[in-house]
Structure 1
Amino acid sequence: MEFFTGVRPLLFSYVLINGILITLQTKEEVLLDMRATGGELGWLTWPLDQGDKPGWEVIQRTLNGSQFYTFSVCNVGEREQDNWLRTTFIQRRPSASRVFVELQFIVRDCNSFDGASLTCKETFNLFTSESDADVGTTFRKGQFKKVATIAPDEITSKNELRINTETKVVENLSRKGFYLAFQDIGACIALLSVRVYYKTCPATVKSLASFPETVAGGENQALREVSGVCVENAISEELPRIYCTVDGEWVVPVGQCQCKPGYEEVEDECQECKAGSFKAEASGDKCTPCPANTQELDSGAVVCPCMDGFYRAPNDPPTGPCSGLPSAPRDLVATTSAGKLLLTWSPPEDTGGRTDITYSIECQRCEGMVCQSCGEKIRYEPAGVGLTDTKVSVSELDAHLNYTFTVEAHSGVTVLTSQAVPPANRPPSTSALTTSLLYTDPPKITAMRVMERSSTSLSLFWDVKPRVHPRPIRYELTYRKKDDNLDVTTYTVLILEKNSVQIKDLVPGTAYLFRVQALSSDGSPGGSSMEEQFETSEHLTQNNTAVIFGVAAGGAAMLFIVIVVLFLRRRKRNSHTRQGPEDTYFSSSEQLKPLKTYVDPHTYEDPNTAVLKFATEIHPSHITKQKVIGAGEFGEVYRGILKVPGRKEVAVAIKTLKPGYTEKQRQDFLSEASIMGQFSHQNIIRLEGVVTKCKDFFKHAMIVTEYMENGALDRYLRDHDGEFASFQLVGMLRGIAAGMKYLSDMSYVHRDLAARNILVNNTLECKVSDFGLSRVLEDDPEGTYTTSGGKIPIRWTAPEAIAYRKFTSASDVWSFGIVMWEVMAFGERPYWDMSNHEVMKAINEAFRLPAPMDCPSAVYQLMLQCWLQDRSKRPRFGDIVSLLDKLLRSPDSLKTIADFDPRISIRLPSTSGSDGSPFRSVSEWLESIKMSQYSENFACAGVVTMDQVLQMKNEDIKNIGVRLPGHLKRIAYSILGLKDQTSTLSVFAV
């Protein structure tokens, strides 16, 4: 320990001055805290006896009366050091599958030791081992699995002490507890603090729903769904839920609770409405003051009843004001015109606070002293009840009778008042106005005939009903020649005092049209009219030859007119025939539309301008949400229906913006719509529109796209593993490539092309989606977009984009090659369980993904072309579409299968699990190859040990119920990999 002399006093001075980092946050639950124990730790060191050069040593110090312990080791001059320090048994909470190990330590600079530079190390290793019980002092290295190599950020020299803090994550814990172990391989180390904790989402109240404390999930369950309970006096139509992230944060609440009627939200509670206010239904609204003409009740009111004399109509909302009766109409006037009676009036001065005023007409007829209802004997136009206009026409009245008309005003509350008040007690004058008159029936012309006829005159007579009238009747007679040209017709009008007339100076042998009408007392037409045709007689010396010639001339003229009409129609039809195809071609928007270039919405000073320019605004009433189908970055995703007037109802996907968003989050959310709105291609997800202008609390901003029934491509392929032939898979790839060619032609880079971002509809048509990471190219065809930060999907990203954060269409081609591999592997995860660091290292060392099972050689060769290191040599999307089209036109080209190595593609190290130890059970092995659904099949068949698995053949696998070709091959190739003890997987093992 002489190499560490002089360091310890400095170490504890640092601890005394600065203490040790302990984060006391409510979202962290501590399982082990070396610093806070304050007593003998009881940790195990191994080996137990190393003579003069011991391994880990415990050092005790007293600080403010409390005991502190540290562990140190410093055998830097000795070769092949293997010193272990193991903690006591750490019991795990059942739901905590992911824990954090926070270390504080000091590492001495190897250069500060004379003569030890060859054997000295500056790192140590962290291991873990799970167990269902405390094994006491039993220690076996083979039971431990390496978590990480711990390297200091700062190294301590002779004169300056530096303390490092490092946090590592231990994933996928499943047993009752675990141990941590620290391996020294020749470093000079002081371990100051070990703190083990797991994260929780603390108990909280969100949107009036109470959620319990929940342990954060692990990598296999990034979002843990938690059900909640509405607070007192709150209800919810659906069970309130929320998601707990791996970082102990609550996100995306679902099923918002709302305060019951009579209650409003006040600081996460539901409190009664104050006196004089009310709330009628469960909602997030505040209580509102009682409306006009209502009674103010005590606290907790759900409705305010009407005051005496005021009512609500049946269709009125119970939350609206109350209304009174309208007053009577004004200025009722009756006038006679054209044999009809016209009643007009003015609206009432007081409508009772309503706008639904209508009118009804009541009629009584009196003969002498006897009066009775008019009944159905008269006719109202447009109607006798439900009038909204202030006039009505009355006809079919009898002459010389007294009529009384009453016009009554009604509103939506009239029927209620008539039920509430007995008729004897109702004041009829409040809403009615009456007028009386003696109606005189205008005369009617019933028949017209010729009394005498000559070649130049006609004597006419007409009948009139009734024959007796109180006043003299005048008549208007109009006549003209029948064959006159309508453009120059001459009418003759006579006003007569009697019902007969002789018309002279007429043309012999000519037909005339006569119309006669009775006039009212003021000279206006007041009765019916009748039109008749009469002819004068001919001359006895009439020239028959002239007549015949005239008829022939008229016939020739008529024939000429018919020929001209037929010629013009044929010419018009030929004109349409010639112009039709040209008009259709030149009016096509697709053919006239120039090649578009993508416009980055982030270049707009106001991002809302881009949304208005590129996306259609949809009224929220046209959208119906049906079911939650996912959770996005900004909120939930729903399946729903879009019904726009004049258009067919369509299924849509609805992305929502969760409550409590910032303006920046809203702009980022809508920027994707600004991008999607610029695209129009059958293999690009179609934007239906956005909702941005709705102010309703429950209807935040939404992005509405077409609905893809089969969801994400990677999940769909995993669910249908082995069910599609290579020809079908290549057809899917052709659609994706066509969509990417369209984007590339618009100078657009996607940056996140992966099978998870390809959507599939019910016809297996694939469409590119998720444009959140995408950016525009510069004008230069080889231009790039450089970003200063942000997450990059390593497994799908080209090496130049990872190294320099520069993206081009060529980097999208690399990503397309990974998508090809995903599709041909039925949704397998690229590079399997390799870490991102291992993936980058393997790619830089020229490793490329091997061909999936049954992958056509031509398709795999195209993948390799997409993965060329030199981006200028990769194919363009236009080339890819052409090649895939060629393969689809020649299905025989897909029959040659690329070589397949199950040892690499299945990623199973011999008969061992990922930690190098043998599989403990058949179910564990099946789970590792994602075939755990067949565990019961193996058990029922009596295959319960790995030795029995190794003896199985293809026929045995079929006999236990594995029928899908893809599943059959996966299990068979896995067994082949298990039998091969020379697996090459160790190169990539974690």
Structure 2
Amino acid sequence: MDFFGGIRRYLFSYVLLNGIFITIQTKEEVLLDMRASGDELGWLTWPLDQGEKTGWEVVQRTLNGSQFYTYSICNVEEREQDNWLRTTFIQRHPLASRVFVELKFIVRDCNSFDGASLICKETFNLYTSESDADVGTTFRKSQFKKVATIAPDEITGKNEMHINTETRVVDGLSRKGFYLAFQDIGACIALLSVRVFYKTCPGTVQNLATFPETVAGAENQPLTEVSGVCVDNAASEELPRIYCTEEGKWAVQVGQCQCKPGYEEVKDTCQECRPGSFKAEASSDACEPCPANTDTLEHGAVLCACKDGFFRAPTDPSTGPCSGPPSAPRDLSAVPQPSVGRLILSWTPPEDTGGRNDITYSVECQRCDGVVCHPCGERVRYEPASMKLTEARVSVSELEAHLNYTFIVEAHSGVSQLAGEAQRPPSRSNVTIFLHYTDPPQITTMRLVGRTSTSLALSWDVSPRPRPQLNIRYKLTYHKKDDNLDKTTYTVLTLDKNSAQIKDLAPGTAYLFRVQALGSDDNSEGSRMEEHFETLTEGNPSQNYTVLLVAAVLVAMMLIVVSAVLFFRRRKRNSHTRQGPEDTYFSTPEQLKPLKTYVDPHTYEDPNVAVLKFATEIHPSHITKQKVIGAGEFGEVYRGILKAPGRKEVAVAIKTLKPGYTEKQRQDFLSEASIMGQFSHQNIIRLEGVVTKFKHAMIVTEYMENGALDRYLRDHDGEISSFQLVGMLRGIAAGMKYLSDMSYVHRDLAARNILVNNNMECKVSDFGLSRVLEDDPEGTYTTSGGKIPIRWTAPEAIAYRKFTSASDVWSFGIVMWEVMAFGERPYWDMSNHEVMKAINEAFRLPAPMDCPSAVYQLMLQCWLQDRAKRPRFGDIVSLLDKLLRSPESLKTIADFDPRVSIRLPSTSGSDGSPFRSVSEWLESIKMSQYSENFTCAGIVTMEQVLQMKTEDIKNIGVRLPGHLKRIAYSILGLKDQTSTLSVFAV
């Protein structure tokens, strides 16, 4: 039969106009390109001799001077077709264990052939066979392994043309080469292009590190570590490494290279700093201009030298500017204050500070007698000091009158000593003043130096201190303090010294004394000083002391007695307030524990404060990294050991921050630690501490041996009982109740964010999307944008981006479904749009296989449209506790429909028709590991499969309950040909 009849001429126009042969510009190493081979394909067809039948044939067409070759076949009117087309031997790259096969093809609609639709097919199969050498024309079907059934997305009718593109992965290749083969089972096909390639991460320079081109890894090796080399004049503290993903893309880099001192980064290279600029240390920064008063004429300068006359102080950074000594203080003046016996020196700061702000001052005093000057000595007092003054003012006292004083004020800075003696005079200013006191000195203090019952000995101080040659006299006046002023008898004494012995006084009597300094002419008087003093009473002069001593002893004895009484009363009261056994019910540790409320670290003005408040700082020497277990957004994740002083070694997970981070990246990285550090619950991942005070920041958490819950469940499908699964759910619910009680919403609760330890204990983790709720119990968190995990998120959170604890309850219901379905993906292959549409139309996930009815009913309660009617986490914990206390309540299984609850088509092939082989059927339900069991048992056709009972499945070696039920339910669906399509296809 002519392939596509009269519409063939349109095929190549469509091909050319739509450019399907244009090479996609990605880094792909092509091993086979059907188009590039032209007419030298040389592919093998089988059977070799088909008589009157026609197999695969090469068809050549010419358009605009270009020739195109296709392989086509169209035996749609004959039954039992088995036509093979095999490629030439394809040499494999030694490291490429995973290759991609890109097919471009056209499939004709069977309904477009009159009378042939019943036996016509619309699919074909792709096979592969490995070999260490080219076997030539030898062909054996048994040596080929099926890769996939190829079905078109669109089929071609009589008046339309649809070209399909499909890409399939061939993994696990290990021999020197391989063949591809295409099996036709009765379809009308045109194979337009076959391209075989493997992906590589292209050679690249990232962060000044050169990484070679690397073959992408296989599915079982998603990350391939690649070591790099720093570019010329760059260095790294640790060997730069990067990861090549299985898709041929570079992932997280570790060990950033940085340009050496004297070099800066320019377009993935390190170039020397130009004259007039420098760079002191290895970093990613650019060269900086030389600072003030420095310069360099060299290329690649590490530092800039000071210009002549400028210096750096010992405490100045070597990369900072240079400075000079300050100029002299300005406007120096001395203002005497005779009334208080001092003078005030003041000045204006230097006009030129030399470029520094550490200016201090020193004051030097010289006393001059005639033409000879001498240092004033230690007798002169300065307030606040004479050295290292920061204010432009000082008070000077204890000066003598009638002398010339010269005061020298010098400005200093950090480079004054380096500038040398030659530079010092310009920093000094001086002023000379002659002190002449016309007024007598002032009395400053009066004191009692001795007394008896009939005498008092007094002395007083004066300021300024009079010179010996000056004739200063004092007038002392006194009288009884309590005398009537009108009848008071005054006694006046004139003295030549500043002390007096007053005799013939009355015993036990208080006297008021007044003293004044007199000028040399006895007419000028200084300020007065008054004090009162009392003579002793008659008798023993020490009797007053005896009375005081006796009183002190009595007071001490009274204090001892009072203290003893208070002690015994307090002890008696405490004995009455101790708890009895009946009181412990009302004061459990949980009840006594104060209610905590979560504090959002993002509310802190300085996020580093939040980290220090909520997380424990760990010294990096206490941490030992053992093995990389993952690569996160910010860096690698290690398994390791924490050995803190005074504690046993514990296994930990260590999240690291890659070098070259920005401050925002560092804050984002540590924000999760600020959140985790506020939680303390056995079902919340425990933060051991952080490393923030060292170059490499880290977050250290407890190590969960079994990893993420969804992967753990998939790896143990059917091996865990319903009772154990409910126990795991109870732990998750308890952790979420704790978070909810702290007014905290998680926002990303999913099985992938639950971690499992060796005891199958589940702990909530991953607080990257988490935010605090407001004090209002109905408070919500409104996001400002970003991605939302649609399959796990409540409808009101999707529609309005408002999150509450009730939306976390919805997510918990999805987690329950994941757990009971052993890690199955919620809503299967439905798109996010289809999921949202289905939820809004009241669709809810069906019960998983073997799910207890009570558990599924709780799921449905979590998925109520009205969030106010959903249970709270406290209610969920109570219900799960009740189920665990009554295991028999888990024996009632929820209704299960395999047509809905198993990903169909598990009852048909990809084109909707029944499966043609047992292996194809097992592969569709992800049970291909049992293919050999079926073959050894002689079950090689789908007719035999349909006759199998549960006991037959057990007898061929399927023992795991979950696998047994999956296969059994799939057979049940196979028997009902009217139900072979998923309900979601409607």
Alignment of structure 1 residues 40-59 onto 2, 5 Å: 40-59=40-59
CA distance in 2: counterparts of 1:477 and 1:637, whole angstroms? 90
The residue type equivalent to 1:206 in the other structure is: Q
Secondary structure of the residue that 2:701 maps to in structure 1?
coil
Give the structure 2 partner of residue 156 of structure 1: 156
CA distance in 2: counterparts of 1:90 and 1:478, whole angstroms? 128
CA distance in 2: counterparts of 1:780 and 1:47, whole angstroms? 75
Give the structure 2 partner of residue 881 of structure 1: 877
Structure 1, residues 382-405: CA drift from partner, whole Å, max 9, x if none? 555433334556789999999866
Alignment of structure 1 residues 532-551 onto 2, 5 Å: 533-535=534-536
Q: Is the 8 A contact 2:344 2:393 kept in 1?
A: yes
Match of 1:914 among 929, 940, 944: 929
Identical counterparts, % of pairs: 54
Q: Is the 8 A contact 1:45 1:86 kept in 2?
A: yes
Alignment of structure 1 residues 808-823 onto 2, 5 Å: 809=808, 811-817=810-816
Does structure 1 residue 618 correspond to structure 2 residue 608?
yes
In the TM superposition, residue 124 of structure 1 has moved relative to its aligned partner by 1.4
Distance 1:477 1:716, change over 3 A: farther
The residue type equivalent to 1:813 in the other structure is: F
Secondary structure of the residue that 1:169 maps to in structure 2?
strand
Could you tell me the TM-score, scaled by structure 2's length? Answer: 0.63
Q: Is the 8 A contact 1:279 1:288 kept in 2?
A: yes
Give the structure 2 partner of residue 766 of structure 1: 763
Q: Is the 8 A contact 1:676 1:771 kept in 2?
A: no
Secondary structure of the residue that 1:283 maps to in structure 2?
coil
Give the structure 2 partner of residue 415 of structure 1: 417
Distance 1:669 1:310, change over 3 A: closer
Q: Which moved more, 1:85-94 or 1:784-793?
A: 784-793
CA distance in 2: counterparts of 1:175 and 1:100, whole angstroms? 16
Structure 1, residues 429-459: CA drift from partner, whole Å, max 9, x if none? 22234567899999998985689977xxx77
Give the structure 2 partner of residue 646 of structure 1: none
CA distance in 1: counterparts of 2:250 and 2:519, whole angstroms? 87
Q: Is the 8 A contact 1:408 1:433 kept in 2?
A: yes
Q: Is the 8 A contact 1:125 1:184 kept in 2?
A: yes
CA distance in 2: counterparts of 1:163 and 1:393, whole angstroms? 100
Distance 1:268 1:755, change over 3 A: closer
In the TM superposition, residue 523 of structure 1 has moved relative to its aligned partner by 7.9
Structure 1, residues 468-492: CA drift from partner, whole Å, max 9, x if none? 83334466979999999xxxxxxx9
Q: Is the 8 A contact 1:513 1:534 kept in 2?
A: no
Give the structure 2 partner of residue 741 of structure 1: 737
Give the structure 1 partner of residue 849 of structure 2: 848
Give the structure 2 partner of residue 754 of structure 1: 751
CA distance in 1: counterparts of 2:306 and 2:74, whole angstroms? 90
Q: Is the 8 A contact 1:261 1:280 kept in 2?
A: yes
Does structure 1 residue 141 correspond to structure 2 residue 148?
no
CA distance in 2: counterparts of 1:254 and 1:300, whole angstroms? 27
Alignment of structure 1 residues 279-294 onto 2, 5 Å: 279-294=279-294
In the TM superposition, residue 372 of structure 1 has moved relative to its aligned partner by 7.5
Q: Is the 8 A contact 1:611 1:670 kept in 2?
A: no
Distance 1:201 1:263, change over 3 A: same
Q: Is the 8 A contact 1:516 1:530 kept in 2?
A: no
Structure 1, residues 784-825: CA drift from partner, whole Å, max 9, x if none? 99999989698x8999999xx999555423443367679xxx
Distance 1:366 1:246, change over 3 A: same
Q: Is the 8 A contact 1:736 1:767 kept in 2?
A: yes
Q: Is the 8 A contact 2:753 2:765 kept in 1?
A: no
Structure 1, residues 740-787: CA drift from partner, whole Å, max 9, x if none? 23566869574541254549899999343245499999x999x99999
Does structure 1 residue 306 correspond to structure 2 residue 319?
no
In the TM superposition, residue 302 of structure 1 has moved relative to its aligned partner by 2.8
In the TM superposition, residue 708 of structure 1 has moved relative to its aligned partner by 2.0
In the TM superposition, residue 31 of structure 1 has moved relative to its aligned partner by 1.4
Q: Is the 8 A contact 2:653 2:703 kept in 1?
A: no
In the TM superposition, residue 883 of structure 1 has moved relative to its aligned partner by 5.2
Distance 1:18 1:753, change over 3 A: closer
Give the structure 1 partner of residue 469 of structure 2: 470
Alignment of structure 1 residues 674-685 onto 2, 5 Å: 682=681
In the TM superposition, residue 110 of structure 1 has moved relative to its aligned partner by 0.7
Secondary structure of the residue that 1:315 maps to in structure 2?
coil
Give the structure 2 partner of residue 953 of structure 1: none
Secondary structure of the residue that 1:21 maps to in structure 2?
coil
Does structure 1 residue 76 correspond to structure 2 residue 69?
no
The residue type equivalent to 1:914 in the other structure is: Q
CA distance in 2: counterparts of 1:379 and 1:725, whole angstroms? 92
Q: Which moved more, 1:293-302 or 1:377-386?
A: 377-386
Give the structure 1 partner of residue 703 of structure 2: 710
CA distance in 2: counterparts of 1:515 and 1:975, whole angstroms? 125
CA distance in 1: counterparts of 2:611 and 2:678, whole angstroms? 26
The residue type equivalent to 2:751 in the other structure is: A
CA distance in 1: counterparts of 2:159 and 2:429, whole angstroms? 111
Q: Is the 8 A contact 1:776 1:785 kept in 2?
A: no
In the TM superposition, residue 34 of structure 1 has moved relative to its aligned partner by 0.6
Secondary structure of the residue that 1:178 maps to in structure 2?
strand
In the TM superposition, residue 195 of structure 1 has moved relative to its aligned partner by 0.9
In the TM superposition, residue 210 of structure 1 has moved relative to its aligned partner by 2.5
What stretches of structure 2 of length at least 5 have no aligned partner?
484-489, 540-547, 575-590, 641-651, 836-843, 894-901, 903-921, 935-953, 972-986
In the TM superposition, residue 89 of structure 1 has moved relative to its aligned partner by 2.4
CA distance in 2: counterparts of 1:139 and 1:482, whole angstroms? 138
Q: Is the 8 A contact 2:688 2:701 kept in 1?
A: no
Distance 1:786 1:125, change over 3 A: farther
Aligned-pair Cα RMSD in Å: 7.2
Distance 1:658 1:316, change over 3 A: closer
Give the structure 2 partner of residue 124 of structure 1: 124
The residue type equivalent to 2:162 in the other structure is: R
Give the structure 1 partner of residue 361 of structure 2: 359
CA distance in 2: counterparts of 1:689 and 1:615, whole angstroms? 22
CA distance in 1: counterparts of 2:955 and 2:334, whole angstroms? 100
Q: Is the 8 A contact 1:632 1:655 kept in 2?
A: no
In the TM superposition, residue 674 of structure 1 has moved relative to its aligned partner by 14
Distance 1:776 1:316, change over 3 A: closer
In the TM superposition, residue 669 of structure 1 has moved relative to its aligned partner by 7.7
Match of 1:830 among 823, 828, 840: 823
Q: Which moved more, 1:104-113 or 1:71-80?
A: 71-80
Secondary structure of the residue that 2:73 maps to in structure 1?
strand
The residue type equivalent to 1:534 in the other structure is: T
Q: Is the 8 A contact 1:813 1:875 kept in 2?
A: no
Q: Is the 8 A contact 2:259 2:283 kept in 1?
A: yes
In the TM superposition, residue 11 of structure 1 has moved relative to its aligned partner by 3.3
Structure 1, residues 99-120: CA drift from partner, whole Å, max 9, x if none? 2221111111111112112111
Q: Which moved more, 1:110-119 or 1:37-46?
A: 37-46
Q: Is the 8 A contact 1:752 1:773 kept in 2?
A: no
In the TM superposition, residue 706 of structure 1 has moved relative to its aligned partner by 7.0
Q: Is the 8 A contact 1:785 1:808 kept in 2?
A: no
CA distance in 2: counterparts of 1:517 and 1:760, whole angstroms? 92
What stretches of structure 1 of length at least 5 have no aligned partner?
485-491, 539-550, 578-587, 599-609, 641-650, 691-697, 823-828, 851-859, 920-972
Could you tell me the TM-score, scaled by structure 1's length? Answer: 0.63
In the TM superposition, residue 717 of structure 1 has moved relative to its aligned partner by 12
Q: Is the 8 A contact 2:235 2:259 kept in 1?
A: yes
Distance 1:9 1:314, change over 3 A: same
CA distance in 1: counterparts of 2:891 and 2:358, whole angstroms? 78
Q: Is the 8 A contact 1:329 1:408 kept in 2?
A: yes
Give the structure 2 partner of residue 256 of structure 1: 256
Q: Is the 8 A contact 2:707 2:757 kept in 1?
A: no
The residue type equivalent to 2:357 in the other structure is: T
Distance 1:106 1:731, change over 3 A: closer
Q: Is the 8 A contact 1:709 1:761 kept in 2?
A: no
Give the structure 2 partner of residue 195 of structure 1: 195
Secondary structure of the residue that 2:811 maps to in structure 1?
helix
Q: Is the 8 A contact 2:337 2:344 kept in 1?
A: yes
In the TM superposition, residue 350 of structure 1 has moved relative to its aligned partner by 2.0
Q: Is the 8 A contact 2:129 2:145 kept in 1?
A: yes
The residue type equivalent to 2:258 in the other structure is: Q
